Amino acid sequence: MRVFSMLATLAAILGGTAALAAEPVPAGDRRFPDFSWDTIPLYMHVRKATAFTAEELDYLASFPLVTLEKTTGQQSSGSTDAGTLVAAQAIKERNPRTKVLFYRNVLVHYGGYSFDDRLSQIPHPFLIDKQGHTRLVRNVSEAYDLANPQVVDWWVDTALGVCRHEAIDGLFLDGNVKALTPYLARQLPPGKKDAVTAGYRDMIKRLRAGISKSDLLIANMIRASYFPDAGLGYLEPFDGSYIEGFDVVVGKMTEADLVAKGIEAVQQAARDGKIIAMTLGLGESAADATKIDDTRTRVGELAEMNERVSYLIGLFLVCAERYSYLYIHDGYSAEVRRGECQSEVWLKRFPQYDKPLGAPLGPATREGFVYKRRFEHVDVMVDLERKQATLEWRTSDAAAERTP
């Protein structure tokens, strides 16, 4: 069996745009993405500074939930916001029910947006450290001074503005952990970080109050490494949480303890009805002080990654509830450089994605670091210490198929 199959066209996979438009919206919150237990529910998170091709747009339109990251369309359309709107509109033309999220960082300034001109007119919009420096994030990027009411006004107004576009279904909010934790506190004057955190809280409150009731707010929030409760206490204003760095250890916790804490938090949020956009890294983490997102080392042949893929699917399945979605990635860039795409996963599907899943028959059970859960068509076992999972599919007309 092939490890993946190409998504040549959306019509070939899902029966065409007309069929998509005719299908009923599933029961539940109509703002939320389509959801089914038929197969593993999937999410997409991507950035590409040049325009997406027709094949890529077909691929994106096959997902129920898509985040278009920073830099999207920046080179082809002149700005990230213009490029994101062009891509979102093209996705909606192919599948009107795909939910498309616009990327905004709540603290880190990434240039390339058309509304940066307005920000430049605000006196001292960025944080300044004790030595007078402004490029405080990785020594490369500025950070918004959210203690400045004019900056908060700018951020909220521009965020609400992009959400008024008919092709945008809400915001993906990044950088929340940096705003809420002591990040940069030692570099700033006394009391400044507390004022920034207060400004962030006010900003999110105003955003929630001002955004359309039909739009979604998904935050990069659940982080077992940074919060005693993994961030659950900050989720109330948001419709859900994106998950990254799930097995990236920060501090003195073992990886097994960290992942177990993360599983517990994701399970709780999912059971509370929050959307879960779970991204799990295929390659080893390549994160360092210069990286702008959850960067991963380049992977080799995907046929050699089957054990890792099964482990990541297992982690997701012991957490998943309705409106939980998975993306197994090797980085979020779909850029092509020197004729080679930066991602081996882009435009591809693992065979496990097309196997029958069925609804869960109950919550996951845990014994030590071993988790088990049954679905209608598959039994899942995950061992955090061994970093292994077994997915055993049950079929009515053939022997059970086991995927290590």
What pLDDT, in 10s, does the model give residues 301-336? 666 688 999 999 999 999 999 999 999 999 899 998
Residues sharing a CB contact under 8 Å with residue 31, sequence separation 6 or more, in sequence order:
169, 213, 214, 215, 216, 239
The answer to whether 57 touches 90, Cβ cutoff 8 Å, is yes
Structure confidence at residue 337 as a pLDDT band (50, 70, 90): confident
DSSP per position, 133-174: ----BTTTB-BB-TTSHHHHHHHHHHHHHHHTSTT--EEEEE
Residues sharing a CB contact under 8 Å with residue 227, sequence separation 6 or more, in sequence order:
180, 181, 233, 234
| Helix, strand and coil in the chain, % to nearest 5 | 30, 20, 50
Report the chain's terminal Cα–Cα distance, integer Å: 14
Task: Tell whether the model's pLDDT for residue 364 goes beyond 80.
Answer: yes
Give the H or E element holding residue 342.
Answer: none
The answer to whether 122 touches 148, Cβ cutoff 8 Å, is yes
pLDDT at 342: 83
The pTM assigned to this predicted structure is 0.89
- 346-358 pLDDT tens trace: 999 999 999 999 9
> Among 279-288, 290-299, 330-339, which is the least confidently predicted range?
290-299
The answer to whether 328 touches 282, Cβ cutoff 8 Å, is yes
Q: Who has greater pLDDT, 174 or 402?
A: 174
Q: Who has greater pLDDT, 72 or 292?
A: 72
Domains and CATH numbers, the chain: 5-355 (3.20.20.70)
Quote the percentage of the chain above a pLDDT of 90.
79
